[in-house]
């Protein structure tokens, strides 16, 4: 029969931790056992590195950065980044300075103008080219009661935002014994602002205008400026 004293000693040692390792866990105290430390002294994920960082790197999602221009400025697309052509009727004004009789006479021409641009859309619904419809012209009367009229023709390249074309017309003047009936012709050009509100033609030029009946460059010569906007 075992004596009472050895049992009391055994119980006391169990409570006080006698005879055990100082590092053994104390399950009897109700405390959570400590996690083992790694070589750097940090425990578990508290080492500061992601759990999936084994092997020197963690998996990341691919991210597409916004584009930047050559100066490193962030490019943000908005309504102004899309240029195009808008069919319709454009109205504006023109202003010409015409010289006659070897530059001895200055004849100003000015007045309203309009031109209608038409086209067929491409398969993607975009316009590649617009054409000045028949009927576009300028006309008026100068200070000498001479009348002028000219037809306009040309195309607008939607990609380059440039209009190119031509004009051909007639000038008539009857003043005393002077009777003038001269044909004239020249080029037509303008820049197109498709993103403007409303879309418009700027920096428009007609000419140089020349008339074979008046001696070409030595006779009837002039240049016009013009502008127009979508009505």
Would you state the pLDDT for residue 72? 46
52 belongs to a structural domain: no
Would you state the pLDDT for residue 76? 35
1, 16, 18, 32 from 29: Cα distances, Å: 32, 11, 15, 9
List, in sequence order, every beta strand (DSSP E) within 28-104.
Answer: 88-100
Kindly give, in sequence order, each residue whose CB lies less than 8 Å from that of residue 16, ignoring residues fewer than 6 positions away: none
41 belongs to a structural domain: no
Would you state the pLDDT for residue 158? 93
CA dihedral 63→66→72→74, nearest 10 degrees, is -140
What is the mean pLDDT for each group of 10 consecutive residues in the chain (231 residues)? 42 43 45 48 45 46 45 37 79 91 80 92 71 95 90 96 96 81 93 96 94 66 94 93
18 belongs to a structural domain: no
12 belongs to a structural domain: no
Would you state the pLDDT for residue 126? 67
pTM of the model: 0.61
Would you state the pLDDT for residue 120? 66
163 belongs to a structural domain: yes
Q: How many domains does the chain have?
A: 1
Would you state the pLDDT for residue 122? 58
7 belongs to a structural domain: no
User: Left if phi > 0, otherwise alpha if psi is -120 to 50, otherwise beta: which for 79?
Assistant: alpha
Domain that holds residue 113: 95-230
d(CA 22, CA 30): 17
115 belongs to a structural domain: yes
212 belongs to a structural domain: yes
């Amino acid at each position: 029969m075992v004596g009472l004293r050895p049992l009391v000693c055994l119980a006391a040692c169990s409570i006080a931790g006698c005879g055990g390792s100082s590092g053994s866990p104390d399950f009897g105290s109700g405390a959570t056992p400590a996690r083992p430390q790694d070589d750097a002294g940090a425990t578990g994920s508290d080492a500061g590195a992601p759990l999936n960082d084994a092997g020197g790197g963690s998996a990341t999602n691919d991210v597409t950065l916004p584009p930047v221009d050559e100066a490193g400025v962030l490019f943000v697309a908005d309504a102004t980044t899309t240029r195009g052509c808008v069919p319709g009727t454009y109205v504006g004004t023109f202003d010409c300075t015409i010289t006659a009789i070897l530059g001895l006479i200055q004849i100003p021409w000015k007045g309203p103008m309009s031109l209608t641009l038409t086209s067929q859309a491409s398969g993607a619904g975009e316009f590649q080219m617009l054409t000045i419809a028949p009927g576009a012209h300028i006309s008026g009367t100068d200070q000498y009661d001479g009348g002028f009229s000219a037809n306009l023709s040309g195309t607008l390249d939607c990609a380059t935002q440039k209009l190119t074309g031509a004009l051909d017309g007639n000038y008539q003047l009857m003043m005393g014994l002077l009777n003038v009936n001269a044909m004239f012709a020249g080029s037509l050009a303008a820049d197109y602002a498709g993103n403007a509100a409303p879309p418009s033609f700027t920096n428009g030029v007609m000419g140089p205008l020349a008339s074979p009946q008046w001696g070409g460059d030595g006779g009837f010569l002039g240049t016009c400026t013009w502008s127009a906007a979508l009505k």
